[in-house]
Amino acid sequence: VKIIDFSFMPKIIRILSKDHRDEESSTSENQLFDIIISGGGMVGTAMACSLGLDPNLAGKKILLLEAGHKKEMDRVPETYSTRVSSISPGSATLLSLGAWDHIANMRCKPYNKMQVWDACSDALITFDKDNLQDEMAYIVENDVIVAALTKQLQTLSDHVKVQYRTKVVKYTWPRPYHVSESIPWVQVTLANGKTLQTKLLIGADGPNSMVRREAGIPTVKWNYDQSAVVAVLHLSESTENNVAWQRFLPTGPIAMLPLSDTESSLVWSTSHQHAEELLQLDEESFVDAINSAFWSNENHSEMVETAGSLFRTALSVLMPDSGSARQLPPSVAGIGPKSRVMFPLGMGHATEYIRHRVAIIGDAAHRVHPLAGQGANLGFGDVAYLTKVLSQAAFNGKDLGKSMQHLLEFETERQRHNLPMMAAIDLMKRLYSTNAAPMVLLRTFGLQATNALPPLKEQIMAYASK
Amino acid sequence: MYSKKLARLAFGPLVESAFKCPLTRNVSSRVTAVRSLCSWTVCLHHRQKNQLSNGLTRLNVRPVSQTTLDPAEARKFQAKASKWWDLQGEFAVLHSMNDLRVPFIRDNLLNVHGVRQLGKPRAGLRILDVGCGGGVLSEPLGRLGADVLGIDPVEDSVRTAELHSSYDPDLRERVGYQACTLEELAEEEVEGFHAVVASEVVEHLADLDTFASCCQQVLKPGGSLFITTLNKTNLSYVFGIVAAEQLLRIVPSGTHDWGKFISPEDLERLLESFGFYVEAIRGMIYNPLTGAWSWQQSTAINYALHAIKRKEEPQPDRVWAESENLDEPGRARSYS
């Protein structure tokens, strides 16, 4: 790593400014960007696209740094990939600035209905739009999203640059107050020794964010003692696969998300030990385990069943139209080859999303349990709002990294939206992690009551769709 | 009263609470020149001489001089030259005023000149920032794409401004600074600018006539003049000086001299007499709790003004007629 003598900086800058400012020039150690985005996953790439498409930021120099290689997808591969995300209509709107067309051309699966039910009782709740014609959300493979965004980025290559296979080793933060003879920008040191400078650094580098760590932003986090097992399932028979299923087992929720008429994606959150066992099973036993998880009633207890049915009767007297028949998900015949993967689950929330000349978005700022399918959507929401805020700042001629007023607005607004959602998801996870009768009764009644109140369900759906 | 006037002519000292009431000044037929430590260049406009010899009475506390520079004011700002960019410091109020004045300038220029280029709304326009200080307003205007020249007689401020903008290559190309007075510049840059911005400046000047005529000289015909300043009312004394300087101390004590404030009507009259027509006047107010400025109906304390230099030269005898037509119906502004 080259050590730069800062006292000569102003002179060097003055000399360099005499040359024509050449963006390709690798000789200039002091390449100054307006915005650098660190991390080229779904959220980072979406941020780069969103900034690139904004008219007020048309003259700014934007750079995306990604440690992996470029993810292009000329043809969609035959097999589905295991990591998928549920994209809400709000996120689809964000992506509709160009990238959604690519996604639609590759593949995505809209679903119209979601059924969530308990393993310990008969309680269930279904979400759907009024007429089952409208889509609730879309299931899209993560790879498809990234490839579509990458394709969109290529059209913006005149002012949004991307560097793949670029690892950052160090960040150097500027002082918030103006000290003469020191560089007022954030410096990003790469593994190849080059140093880049930027007026604003956006960290989109995932749950173990280096940006967040190096900036010293305190994070509230804990590990759920759970891992998620994901796989691609082949259904036993082709069906109009437009329902998302999720059942809360005592060990954790198991979800089946539609990918096509014959295939679905599995997300099974369970204890670490059980997850490892599941990975070891042969294909047939694994399929049996999945089917029995969805179908069997072994966790029902007499008392809870009676109580539950009494409550349901009471509800049906009060609100005759409420209540839905419990449907069973399609049965699984096989799994995609080599498609079983597991990863640990945890919850994390950064107490601050911004610092002087830094902002963090996506999983770097907040990490949630997949049970609600909201992780990606929260990230896309961050992207939309931060773009809006930066656009406004640029239109007012402000220094993008220094205008704390705008960055604070982003932080406040997103924390206000994200925290309740994260609290709700965590609460759900804890609520459904136990077999104890009182909790089961509580959640049974709660779920049935919520199911009986369409306005409440609509509120929940509206909040999750943003 | 005469002795006070002489004292001001000779030394231009800081005027404090002693001078609360507006003083009516009778313009003498002879223009007395004030020699100051810095160089002064006479920027005489023959119309100005005519007006003075007509014995036109104006409400103006300033001594008649031929330079806009008031040395006492210059000394005040010299002492604080390094504090311009301390966002929590004494000039924080000016930094937060950018939220109002940058959109005001940007949008009005947009209306007049149209959009040149997306992403750089003010590309290709030359703007002069009079009394730029540390460049607090020049930098955002430069970022919007305009070519900005900031001038200030206090050399230390100009140096601070240059240093601050030297780090950013965008600004370096577009924002330049010069330590000089407006009169000095007006000789070289006749009709050189699309817009002149004089924000929080007119209340620190020695002579407004010189200022107005120099602005008229450097502006292209149809060019815009933006002024923000404080009104001369009891309310502005209470809030602008007593509350701001002494009680809340959000502005350093002694920054403002109530006697030098000018009301929008007087300013408008003055500008009209120099060939401008005032296109907009808006009131502004500062909320010390939130530290934010906002627009308001009343111009009682702070106000912003946008004037446009007429494209054709008005004749001297038209000046009387224009100043009588101040309160035309159709101009919806409230003076209070």
Q: For residue B153, what is the domain's CATH number? A: 3.40.50.150
- Structural domain includes residue B62: no
Token pair of B144 as six digits: 């919007």
Quote the domain boundaries for residue A152: 31-465
Residues from chain B that touch A56, judged by Cβ atoms under 8 A, are 118-119
Backbone torsions φ then ψ of A434, nearest 5 degrees: -125, 160
> How far from the centroid of its chain's Cα atoms is residue A222's Cα?
18
**Beta-strand (E) ranges in chain B?**
126-130, 147-151, 175-178, 193-199, 219-230, 276-287, 292-296, 302-309
Residue A18 lies in a domain: no
Residue from B177, B313, B257, B216 nearest B14 by CA: B257
Give me the half-sphere count of Cα atoms (radius 13 Å) on the Cβ side of residue A257.
Answer: 30
CB contact under 8 A, B172 and A17: yes
Which residues of B line the annotated binding site for Mg(2+)? Answer: 200, 203-204
Residue type, B161: A
- Chain B hits for A17, Cβ within 8 Å: 169, 172-173
Q: Is the confidence metric ipTM above 0.90 for this complex?
A: no
Do residues B304 and B100 touch, judged by C-beta distance below 8 A? yes
DSSP-assigned states of every residue in B198-227: EET-GGG-S-HHHHHHHHHHHEEEEEEEEE
Comparing alpha-carbon positions, the chain A residue that sits nearest to B100 is A396
From the list B119, B141, B169, the residue facing A32 with the nearest CB is: B169
A399 touches chain B (CB under 8 A): yes
| A167, two tokens | 């690892």
The domain tally of chain A equals 1
Q: Is residue B8 part of a domain?
A: no
Which residue from A180, A185, A398 is facing B163, i.e. has the nearest CB?
Answer: A180
Q: Which residue of A has its CA nearest to B163?
A: A180
Sign of the C-alpha dihedral, residues A123, A129, A134, A136? negative
How many other CB atoms sit within 10 Å of the CB of residue B196? 24
Length of chain B: 336
Q: Is residue A198 part of a domain?
A: yes
The boundaries of the domain holding residue B262 are 71-231+258-309
* Cα B174 to Cα A114: distance, rounded to the nearest angstrom: 57
Asked if A14 lies within 8 A of B166 by C-beta distance, the reply is yes
pTM of structure: 0.80
Interface of A with B in 11-70 (CB under 8 A): 13-14, 17, 21, 32, 55-60
Contact B106 A397 (CB under 8 A): yes
Q: A74: which 2 tokens?
A: 């000329």
Spatial separation of the C-alpha atoms in residues A265 and B101, rounded to whole Å: 55
- SS3 state of residue A364: helix
Alpha helices, DSSP H only, in A257-331? Answer: 272-280, 283-295, 302-318
Q: Is residue A195 part of a domain?
A: yes
CB B142 within 8 A of CB B148: yes
Number of domains in chain B: 1
Q: For residue A76, what is the domain's CATH number?
A: 3.50.50.60
Whether residue B10 is contained in a domain is answered as no
Tokens, residue A348: 């994390």
Extract the tokens encoding B229: 């300043």
As a whole number of angstroms, the distance between CA B179 and CA B184 comes to: 10
Within-domain flag for A56: yes
- Pair of tokens at residue A297: 């009633």
Per-residue pLDDT 10s for chain A (466 aa) are: 455 555 555 555 544 544 444 444 343 445 889 999 999 899 999 999 999 999 888 888 999 999 888 888 777 788 888 888 988 888 888 888 778 888 888 888 888 888 888 888 778 888 877 665 677 888 998 988 998 899 888 888 888 999 898 899 999 988 877 666 678 888 999 998 889 999 999 999 999 999 999 999 999 998 888 899 999 989 888 888 888 999 988 888 999 999 888 889 999 999 999 999 988 888 889 999 999 888 887 777 777 778 778 887 887 777 766 556 778 888 888 888 777 888 899 999 999 999 989 999 999 999 998 888 888 999 999 999 999 999 999 998 888 888 888 999 999 999 999 999 999 888 888 888 887 888 888 888 888 888 888 888 888 888 777 7
Residues 6+ apart with CB under 8 A from A211: A38, A39, A171, A201, A203, A205, A358, A360, A364
- Which tokens is B51 given? 């007006």
Cα separation values, B206 from A442, B74, B174, B186, B252, Å:
78, 11, 30, 17, 20
Q: Which residue has the tokens 């509350």?
A: B243
Residue B221 lies in a domain: yes
Q: Name chain A contacts of B102, Cβ cutoff 8 Å.
A: 396-397
Q: Is residue A21 part of a domain?
A: no
